């Protein structure tokens, strides 16, 4: 058994939320350990392409952003968490810039796209590798500090002890117990495991299996909306190499529309995610879908309507992937079908990201409330940054009090 250790703050998970929490806790002066199931790079966050929302447009405000979140959630989100999310969004963007993220700019400001369910152009992007850019900057910041990295540490149990929490990890060498004054759970959602059980495709990384949520529930934490899983309206359906790929929602922001077998538009392509996914399911059910060469259901996404300039600035990775598979989305429409993507609900948290267990915090996809039962695109990376920072700071302050 590797030697046990003791830390002020133990962060579990190295996606955007865990990295943001670890950086914030370290900056607040805490002795931080960052434990993660496999490598530090392995997570959903790094796969995020589309972007991150923040109200920077002249016609926009945090209040309008919050209204869009509440409406897209069908009024199921926690308004207090939403207010924090949208009001701290601009400062979260500036924090990421300070750490080295370079958002795509245009005409002296940010290049802003409109995402599904939004009434304003609000989505900042780093080309179509936004999650990669954010996690890289956060990871490099954490790695340049004194914090301890614990790769290949899979959380197996969590229990209260006199001065904090005892977390036990499975490692290549056996079980590794660690004690920390406070714990930040940032271990993401469970859509990879859920899709495997259902025999469906998922956009998620294989580490998205959800056992950390189960461990917190076993320790007595409360959860909400855990049954609300989100389908990304536009999973890649063909070619086979693109099955399970999430076609960025920015394709639709920049003009792509959904078409049925007769070439008709059958829904608002920039509606909230649940509405667009349901419209595709319904269209296929009515017999107005098309089939992929391997017999899967699909509809068309007419990507030929995207202006070449927009595609080259905001969709270069997507174009490269499709062209590598023998299809040029600017020359022909592509086949798409909804795919399991995101866990909307999770552990109940307060404004400091503390769960109902004292000294245990949760941020990112493992936490619930900020999106209610239906998340808007671009608000997850934002939640990771806003509530990751809050969790790290609060966990450090509590540990050092």
Ligand X SMILES: Cc1cc2nc3c(=O)[nH]c(=O)nc-3n(C[C@H](O)[C@H](O)[C@H](O)COP(=O)(O)OP(=O)(O)OC[C@H]3O[C@@H](n4cnc5c(N)ncnc54)[C@H](O)[C@@H]3O)c2cc1C
As measured in angstroms, the least distance from the Cβ of 370 to ligand X is: 11
Buried b (16+ CB within 10 A) or exposed e, 75-103: ebbbeebbbbbbbbbeebbebbeebebeb
* % helix, strand, coil for the chain, step of 5: 35, 25, 40
**Distance in angstroms (rounded) separating the CA atoms of residues 99 and 24:** 12
List the helix and strand counts (H, then E) for the chain: 12, 19
Tell me the Cα Rg of the chain.
21
Shortest Å distance, C-beta 13 to ligand X = 3
Joined together, the tokens standing for residue 25 give: 């806790």
CB of 401 to ligand X, least distance (A): 26
Q: Which CB sits closer to ligand X, 77 or 259?
A: 77
* Helix H or strand E encompassing 34: strand 32-35
34 neighbors 167 (Cβ within 8 angstroms): no
| Paired tokens of 205 | 């990384």
CA 150 to chain centre: 22
* Cα–Cα distance measured from residue 386 to residue 380, given in angstroms and rounded to the nearest whole number: 10
| For ligand X, the closer CB: 84 or 186 | 186
273 is a catalytic site residue: yes
> To which residue do tokens 């003009």 refer?
255
Closest distance to ligand X from the beta carbon of 326 (Å): 22
Nearer to ligand X, 204 or 336 (CB): 204
What are the residue ranges of helices labelled H in 62-207?
Answer: 62-72, 79-87, 89-98, 130-143, 191-198
Nearer residue to ligand X within complex by CB, 266 or 361:
361
Least CB distance from residue 51 to ligand X, whole Å?
5
Nearer to ligand X, 260 or 303 (CB): 303
Shortest distance in whole angstroms from residue 179 CB to ligand X: 17
Smallest gap from Cβ 43 to ligand X, in A, equals 3
Q: Which residues bind ligand X (CB under 6 A)?
A: 12-18, 35-38, 42-45, 47-52, 130-131, 154-155, 186-188, 203-204, 207-208, 211-212, 246, 342, 364-366, 377-381, 384
Helix axes 16-27 and 130-143, enclosed angle (nearest 10): 30
Which SS3 state, helix, strand or coil, does residue 354 take? strand
Q: Which is nearer to ligand X, 164 or 235 (CB)?
A: 235
Which is nearer to ligand X, 25 or 290 (by Cβ)? 25
Name the catalytic one among 111, 190, 273, 375: 273
Rounded distance between C-alpha atoms, residue 10 and residue 151, angstroms: 13
Contacts for 394 with CB less than 8 Å, ≥ 6 apart:
352, 353, 354, 361
- Separation in Å, CA 59 to CA 63, 93, 271: 11, 18, 20
CA 341 from chain center: how many Å? 9
Quote the least distance from Cβ 32 to ligand X, whole Å: 15
In the bound state with ligand X, the residue whose beta carbon lies nearer, of 132 and 398, is: 132
Closest to 127 (Cα-Cα) out of 311, 303, 274? 311
Chain CA centroid to CA 34, Å: 19
Query: Which positions are annotated as active-site residues?
Result: 273
């Amino acid at each position: 058994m590797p030697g046990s250790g003791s830390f002020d703050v133990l962060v579990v998970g190295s996606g955007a939320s865990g990295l943001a929490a670890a950086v914030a806790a370290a900056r607040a002066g805490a002795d931080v350990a960052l434990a993660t199931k496999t490598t530090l790079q392995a997570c959903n966050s790094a796969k995020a392409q589309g972007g991150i929302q923040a109200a920077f447009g002249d016609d926009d405000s945090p209040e309008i952003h919050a209204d869009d979140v509440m409406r897209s959630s069908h009024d199921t989100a926690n308004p207090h968490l939403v207010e924090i999310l949208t009001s701290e969004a601009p400062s979260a963007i500036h924090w990421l810039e300070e750490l080295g993220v370079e958002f795509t700019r245009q005409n002296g400001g940010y290049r802003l796209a409109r995402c599904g369910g939004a009434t304003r152009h609000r989505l900042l992007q780093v080309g179509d590798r936004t999650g990669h850019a954010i996690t890289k900057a956060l990871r490099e910041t954490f790695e340049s500090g004194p914090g301890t990295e614990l790769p290949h540490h899979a959380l197996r149990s969590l229990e209260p002890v006199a001065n904090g929490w005892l977390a036990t990890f499975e490692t290549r060498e056996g079980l590794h117990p660690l004690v920390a004054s406070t714990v930040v759970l940032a271990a993401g959602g469970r859509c990879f495991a859920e899709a495997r059980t259902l025999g469906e495709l998922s956009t998620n990384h294989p580490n998205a299996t959800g056992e950390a949520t189960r461990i917190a529930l076993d320790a007595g934490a409360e959860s909400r909306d855990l049954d609300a899983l989100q389908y990304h309206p536009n999973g890649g359906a063909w070619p086979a190499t693109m099955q399970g790929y999430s076609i960025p929602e920015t394709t639709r922001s920049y003009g792509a529309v959904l078409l049925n077998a007769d070439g008709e538009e059958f829904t608002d392509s920039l509606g909230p995610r649940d509405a667009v996914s349901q419209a595709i399911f319904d269209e296929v059910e009515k017999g107005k879908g098309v089939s992929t060469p391997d017999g899967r259901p699909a509809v068309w996404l007419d990507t030929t309507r995207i202006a070449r300039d927009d595609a080259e600035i905001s969709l270069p990775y997507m174009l490269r992937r499709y062209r590598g598979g023998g299809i040029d989305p600017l020359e022909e429409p592509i086949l798409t079908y909804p795919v399991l993507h995101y866990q909307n609900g999770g552990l109940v948290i307060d404004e400091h990201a503390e769960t109902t267990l004292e000294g245990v915090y949760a941020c990112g996809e493992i936490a619930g409330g900020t999106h209610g039962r239906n998340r808007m695109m671009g608000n997850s990376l934002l939640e990771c940054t806003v509530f990751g920072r809050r969790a790290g700071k609060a966990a450090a302050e509590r540990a050092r009090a």
